[in-house]
Amino acid sequence: MTVPSKTDHVDVLIVGAGPAGLMMAAWMATCGIKTRIVDKRGTKIFNGQADGLQCRTLEILDSFGIAERAWKEANHMLEICFWNPDETGAIRRSGRIPDTIPGVSRFQQVVLHQGRIERFFLDYIESKSPIRVERGVLPTKLEFDESLAEDSDAYPITVNLRHLSEEEATPKQASTAANGSCVQDGLFRSNLAADDTAELLRTSELNAKANTEEVVKAKYVLGADGAHSWVRKELGFSLVGDSTDYIWGVLDIVPITDFPDIRSRCAIHSANSGSVMVIPRENKLVRLYIQMTTTEKIGDGGSRADRSKITPETILASAQKILAPYKLSYRKLDWWTAYQIGQRVGTNFSAKERIFLAGDAVHTHSPKAGQGMNISMQDAYNLGWKVSSVIKGLSNRSILKSYERERSGIAHALIQFDHKFSRLFSGRPAKDVMDEEGISLEEFKDAFEKGNLFASGTAVDYEASKIVAKSPEATNGANGVSAPASLEGSKTTPAVTSTQSLASNVKVGMRIPSTKILNQSDARPWHLQERLPSNGTWRILLFVGDVSISEQKQKMETLCKSLSGSNSFLKRFTPSGARYDSVFEVLTVHAAKRTDVSVLDFPEVLRPYDELDGWDYNTIFVDGESYHEGHGQIYETFGIDPKVGCAIVLRPDQYVSYVGPLEDYETVDKFFSDFMIPQN
Ligand SMILES: Cc1cc2nc3c(=O)[nH]c(=O)nc-3n(C[C@H](O)[C@H](O)[C@H](O)COP(=O)(O)OP(=O)(O)OC[C@H]3O[C@@H](n4cnc5c(N)ncnc54)[C@H](O)[C@@H]3O)c2cc1C
Ligand SMILES: *[C@@H]1O[C@H](CO)[C@@H](O)[C@H](O)[C@H]1NC(C)=O
Ligand SMILES: *[C@@H]1O[C@H](CO)[C@@H](O)[C@H](O)[C@H]1NC(C)=O
Ligand SMILES: *[C@@H]1O[C@H](CO)[C@@H](O)[C@H](O)[C@H]1NC(C)=O
Ligand SMILES: *[C@@H]1O[C@H](CO)[C@@H](O)[C@H](O)[C@H]1NC(C)=O
Ligand SMILES: *[C@@H]1O[C@H](CO)[C@@H](O)[C@H](O)[C@H]1NC(C)=O
Ligand SMILES: *[C@@H]1O[C@H](CO)[C@@H](O)[C@H](O)[C@H]1NC(C)=O
């Protein structure tokens, strides 16, 4: 062993720079947390890999200001076509539905490869912070002093990092096309290629002298190191679940075909040759997903399928059989891979809320449910703001327990969805109504439509906790699936309860829906969500109703008196010297006629004054008709009565914490007092 050359102290160490790790780094960059992010690979990926972005993922990217790039570059998927065998056994189109259920989001599902998404994140992180992804860096040892877990000043985790030589950090690619030409394949990051972490560790041991090793002490660690997660293994956690592994062949080509729906997303079931999913992509590319074979359970690192049998040619041949009598060939092959996956969820998502796992490190599932990148990013999106508010000393550590509960609920729901979906997708189509083994078209379409809502990511419903104030009865857990009973210990209860009926369509535990509202001061329309960027700030939305009615105005003024009082939570939980809107932003949406009121009619706490910038014109909005873009009808859409109004508390990740009476200051104060730390 070499003597480590130096010891560094960081708040957060992220292992792995895939979608999950980069999302975490984006939060840390935004919130100004001292962070390092390392990846064993020398390069980022350039093509292939995961492809789609669901609506909720786009909303999240937009909250960091990077959805626009994705939206522009991506291929937009608007339609799904179903193809099934007819009476003669030939495939024919049996239905068409919109790919994204209209109205669930202001975005629709799009397709863009993972390499581009990673690029957008890297640019964002660089623009906001000194954080840079350190490539060719391999952690070799992890120590965790659990006795320090509750000490907020401690650095209880020690990680040794080895800097690899360039040669070590460059993945070996399987030689590919039969004719020997070098098409880039995905096998180097595919799990059909044996995991090489152990091998890298051995080589770097040998090369010890040539390399440098350092010690990093961290307050928090995130293992976002993919399905083979080294961090997970070091912690002794495992993935449990289904015993079957499915092998998928994935081919990215520019197709030459007479199949008419090649530019729509298609689910094609042949009578006897299996099924294929067609995903139209950017740059004239089309991705074909084909389930190749299933293998017996292989466990973590057990025997692998014979990958030499899977080539672009074999994948194409399967597709040709399924599509017959239509013809399919290609001249341009962009990428291909074989992908082996079981449906498994991690036993633990964290060790003492100090070391966390996110993304493929805690759940794997088939690409058909097509959720890998979405769910992985959303794990880290759930975690990032919590960790940073604890590090900044704004919130009590107890809020971190909600990560495991919220995300394991989702992971289990995802696996259930995937199970059902995989069976439907890979099952044989029913021959007739008496064919019980077969999958009927109706069953498939029905499941697909329901699945679509799940897949859009907008149906996520977090259970009651310190930061989600709903009654336990209102809780089904995420999408109706609760965190497993084994996690009972991490359950927390809210200090207050919501009055859901005051905003019947803004469900506590779900992300806030969005519709257009107008800026009171200049009449410009905005989507509500556009006013909720991810920067770590809690939001208090005051639906003050029709303030031309004196009763409503009175309620607003009473509330504002408490909010601006010297003992208000806005002051108690804001660090001295900072403005309260760096911790709590108060946004007002009224329902009076826009031209009957002015920004200056609203109490000052709703439009704070700044020595340099004057009054804030950015916080008062109206539910009204815009000049060019219609009327958002936010009160009606949200189920809020303009003669009653309400107050809504939003977490920094746009999920609804609380809905209650407009004039009820005390309950909101109590909600925050339960987990926020007094600053002065
Ligand atoms: C070959 C392949 C093809 C895929 N195709 C699809 C698809 O078509 N559709 C789909 O929906 N999903 C697909 N997926 C799944 C999707 O890519 C993942 O769900 C998603 O990338 C998960 O993100 P992540 O950040 O959790 O992990 P990953 O993207 O796997 O990122 C993990 C990162 O950690 C690094 N790392 C690993 N171990 C260490 C270590 N010991 N030390 C330091 N760094 C380490 C890796 O180099 C990698 O950069 C595919 C996955 C693979 C591997
Ligand atoms: C090999 O195949 C690729 C496409 O699969 C093609 O571009 C290339 O020209 C071929 N090379 C030879 C030597 O045939
Ligand atoms: C992991 O989870 C199990 C329950 O599933 C629990 O008993 C155990 O204490 C957890 N381990 C750690 C280190 O948190
Ligand atoms: C994200 O979700 C969408 C919608 O289900 C899906 O089509 C897409 O493939 C998913 N993307 C990834 C990378 O999993
Ligand atoms: C956090 O909350 C726990 C109780 O849940 C309490 O014991 C602890 O003192 C609090 N920590 C801080 C820093 O306020
Ligand atoms: C977050 O953005 C809002 C404006 O949307 C701003 O008022 C607030 O101060 C920002 N918070 C931080 C912590 O920068
Ligand atoms: C609202 O209008 C003011 C004044 O024109 C402007 O400064 C602010 O950026 C606007 N905000 C939004 C969200 O439209």
What pairing do the DSSP bridges indicate for beta strands 516-519 and 525-527? antiparallel
Per-residue pLDDT averaged across 417-421, rounded?
74
pLDDT score, position 365 = 75
- Given pLDDT bands bounded at 50, 70 and 90, which one contains residue 413? confident
Whose alpha carbon is nearest atom 10 of ligand 5?
396
Closest C-alpha to 679, from 582, 561, 585, 604 = 582
Q: Topology of 7-74+112-240+344-403 in CATH?
A: FAD/NAD(P)-binding domain (3.50.50)
Domain 76-106+243-296+305-342+427-445 coded CATH 3.30.9.10: yes
Task: Please write the tens of the pLDDT for every residue from 235-259.
Answer: 999 988 865 666 778 899 999 999 9
CB 647 within 8 Å of CB 587: no
CA of 56 to the centre of ligand 2 (A): 40
Task: Please write the tens of the pLDDT for every residue from 175-190.
Answer: 444 443 445 555 555 5
Per-residue pLDDT averaged across 392-417, rounded?
91
pLDDT score, position 184 = 55
Task: Please write the tens of the pLDDT for every residue from 127-179.
Answer: 999 999 999 999 999 999 999 999 999 999 999 999 887 777 776 554 444 44
Q: Residue ranges per domain, the chain?
A: 7-74+112-240+344-403, 76-106+243-296+305-342+427-445, 500-674
Task: Please write the tens of the pLDDT for every residue from 449-502.
Answer: 767 667 777 888 999 999 999 987 665 544 556 777 778 888 889 999 999 999
Asked if the model's pLDDT at residue 275 lies above 80, the reply is: yes
Residues of the chain with pLDDT > 70: what percent?
A: 82
For residue 339 and ligand 1, the question of a CB distance below 6 A is answered with yes
CA of 177 to the centre of ligand 2 (A): 8
pLDDT score, position 180 = 39
Encoded amino acid at 313, one letter: E
Closest C-alpha to 16, from 379, 544, 465 = 379
CB 521 within 8 Å of CB 606: no
Please state, rounded to an integer, the average pLDDT across all residues of the chain.
86
CB 60 within 8 Å of CB 117: no
Per-residue pLDDT averaged across 591-601, rounded?
96
At 348, list the tokens.
Answer: 């633990």
Task: Please write the tens of the pLDDT for every residue from 280-322.
Answer: 998 899 999 887 754 433 444 444 555 567 788 989 999 999 9
CB 547 within 8 Å of CB 645: no
Closest C-alpha to 389, from 378, 381, 400, 380 = 400
- Range of lowest pLDDT (113-117, 203-207, 318-322, 512-516): 203-207
CB 69 within 8 Å of CB 61: no
Q: Which helix (H) or strand (E) element contains residue 335?
A: strand 328-341
Q: How far apart (Å, rounded) are the C-alpha atoms in residues 168 and 18?
A: 19
- Range of lowest pLDDT (84-88, 188-192, 219-223, 288-292): 188-192
Whose alpha carbon is nearest atom 12 of ligand 6?
582
pLDDT score, position 674 = 97
For residue 486 and ligand 3, the question of a CB distance below 6 A is answered with yes
For residue 158 and ligand 5, the question of a CB distance below 6 A is answered with no
Q: Which CATH number fits domain 500-674: 3.40.30.20, 1.10.287.70, 3.90.1150.10, 3.40.630.20?
A: 3.40.30.20
Asked if the model's pLDDT at residue 677 lies above 70, the reply is: yes
Ligand 4 binding pocket, CB closer than 6 Å: 50-54, 109, 370-374, 455
For residue 305 and ligand 5, the question of a CB distance below 6 A is answered with no
- Given pLDDT bands bounded at 50, 70 and 90, which one contains residue 194? low
CA of 348 to the centre of ligand 3 (A): 6
Asked if the model's pLDDT at residue 379 lies above 70, the reply is: yes
CB 96 within 8 Å of CB 261: no
